Amino acid sequence: MISETILNSLRECLGPEKFTTSEFRDNTRIIVAPDALYKTLECLKNKSGFDMLVDVTAVDYLNYPDAKDRFGVIYALLNTANGERLYVKTFLNEPDLTIPSAFPLWRGANWMEREVYDMFGIRFEGHPDLRRILMPPEFTAFPLRKDYPLRGRGERHNFPMITRAES
Amino acid sequence: MAIRLDDNVLVTRLAPLADWLANWGRANSLWPMPFATACCGIELMATGASRYDIARFGAEAMRFSPRQCDLMIVAGRVVMKMVPVMQRIWLQMSEPKWCISMGACASSGGVFDTYAVVQGIDRFIPVDVYVPGCPPRPEQLIQSILDLQEKIRQTGTVTGKEFAQRTAREGPTEVKARPMDLVVAPGDFSTATQQWEK
């Protein structure tokens, strides 16, 4: 459960009807549109003391029952002073998979956003160094998308064999 | 009483003697390159440590520079980002060199049949001995080193010309069992649980 003062200060920042909330197992989620995302995060950091970005991750809702949007991007925030946690969620659809980077607010967003870009192909505008972080740079697919086959498209075996006579 | 030359002098041809001598030296002083990428590396370390003591077989000199090694032990799963690294390290090792593929993941990908994990390192580098197990026990790794020593003794030549014949991708081949391989410990090992008498 999140206190009402946080939601009120968020309403002041964004305007009253700009976000919705939901609850799941004592976790509060704030769902905003992508264009209000950066302002939400900024407000939560500066006004409500969420000084730590715990995680940035994404979900592909392709073929998910009752899902309206393709991708969800989730920011997990933590107030290190009182231990409050909050999840900010936004939904994206192809072809416009660009959202503002949270790097100006939290430096820790750098590698986490690179990982989301690497796995889902979601681009973060204003990120200082948006390269792949886990997969090799010549990799072209985004492997955690649901339309990517589990065993890949043969990239893992696309290397020359070195025989014993050659080496 | 005439003394024949054959009685006191070992007569042999030079080339087999040179091969035998080289194989004797090579087999008993393998210097492993620990290419340990996952949990098999822990068993590899245990094999090197005092309890199992790989030094008993002359293979204790683990070097972390490929230039000083002649046995690459690939211990653990290899992902596609690691393949060029592995091939480069293999090419940097000086001749003669051998490779042991340790564990299910290095040999076949193991349970990791995903887009990134290579399904067997023998697709990309030549492998001499495969060790099954997840991870293999140190005894198995020691057995693989003994097997490799046997392979070196049986097939090795001083010039290394046996390597030049291996021009294609190789899979595992069956080896002839020696008498020592057929020795089994006494007991009934047909079930995993002990049968207690009532």
Q: Render B21-48 in DSSP notation, one character per residue.
A: HHHHHHHT---EEEEE-STHHHHHHHHH
Bridge partners of B35, per DSSP, are B74
Cα distances (angstroms) measured from residue B31 to each of B63, B73, B124:
7, 10, 22
> B96 by DSSP, 3-state: which?
coil
Q: Six-digit token pair at B99?
A: 């490779």
Q: Six-digit token pair at B86?
A: 């592995």
pLDDT at site B195: 59
Instruction: Count each helix (H run) and each strand (E run) in chain A, helices first.
Output: 3, 7
| pLDDT, tens digit (0-9, with 9 covering 90-100), for B122-147 | 889 999 999 998 899 998 999 999 98
Among chain A residues, CA nearest to B170 = A163
Q: Six-digit token pair at B69?
A: 């090694």
> How many angstroms separate the CA atoms of A29 and A24, rounded?
8
Tell me what percent of chain B is helix, strand and coil, each rounded to the nearest 5.
40, 10, 50
Bridge partners of A76, per DSSP, are A55, A87
Among chain A residues, CA nearest to B92 = A167
pLDDT at site A82: 87
Asked whether the predicted pLDDT for residue B196 surpasses 90, the reply is: no
Supply φ then ψ for residue B32, to 5 degrees: -75, 145
How many cross-chain Cβ pairs, A to B, lie less than 8 Å apart?
69
pLDDT at site B7: 65
Asked whether the predicted pLDDT for residue B1 surpasses 60, the reply is: no
Shortest Cα distance, chain A CAs vs residue B120, angstroms: 10
- What's at B189, amino acid-wise? F
Contact between B80 and A156 using a beta-carbon 8 Å cutoff: yes
By the 8 A CB rule, do A30 and A21 touch? yes
Q: Six-digit token pair at A155?
A: 């990239």
Mean pLDDT score, A34-45: 88
Nearest Cβ partner for B115 among A143, A159, A165: A143
Asked whether the predicted pLDDT for residue A112 surpasses 70, the reply is: yes
> A7 by DSSP, 3-state: which?
helix
> How many angstroms separate the CA atoms of A52 and B110, rounded?
38
Nearest Cβ partner for A164 among B87, B113, B166: B166
Per CB-CB distance under 8 Å, the chain A contacts of B90 are 162, 167
> How many angstroms separate the CA atoms of B16 and B14, rounded?
6
Per CB-CB distance under 8 Å, the chain A contacts of B169 are 161, 163
By the 8 A CB rule, do A129 and B135 touch? no
Place of tokens 């003697």: B17
Report cis status (omega within 30 of 0) of the bond before B135. yes
**B155 HSE (CA, 13 A, CB side):** 16
By the 8 A CB rule, do B127 and B148 touch? no
Nearest Cβ partner for A156 among B116, B163, B168: B116
pLDDT band at A165 (very low <50, low <70, confident <90, very high): confident
Question: CB neighbours (10 Å) of residue B88?
Answer: 11
Place of tokens 């950091």: A45
CA dihedral B55→B52→B179→B194, nearest 10 degrees, is: 180
pLDDT at site A167: 75
Contact between B115 and A164 using a beta-carbon 8 Å cutoff: no
| Range with the poorest average pLDDT among B11-25, B110-124, B168-182 | B168-182
Per CB-CB distance under 8 Å, the chain B contacts of A135 are 81, 116
| pLDDT, tens digit (0-9, with 9 covering 90-100), for B51-108 | 989 999 988 888 899 999 999 999 999 999 999 999 999 999 988 899 999 999 999 9
| pLDDT, tens digit (0-9, with 9 covering 90-100), for B170-189 | 887 776 777 777 776 666 66
pLDDT at site A76: 93
pLDDT at site B47: 92
Contact between B117 and A136 using a beta-carbon 8 Å cutoff: no
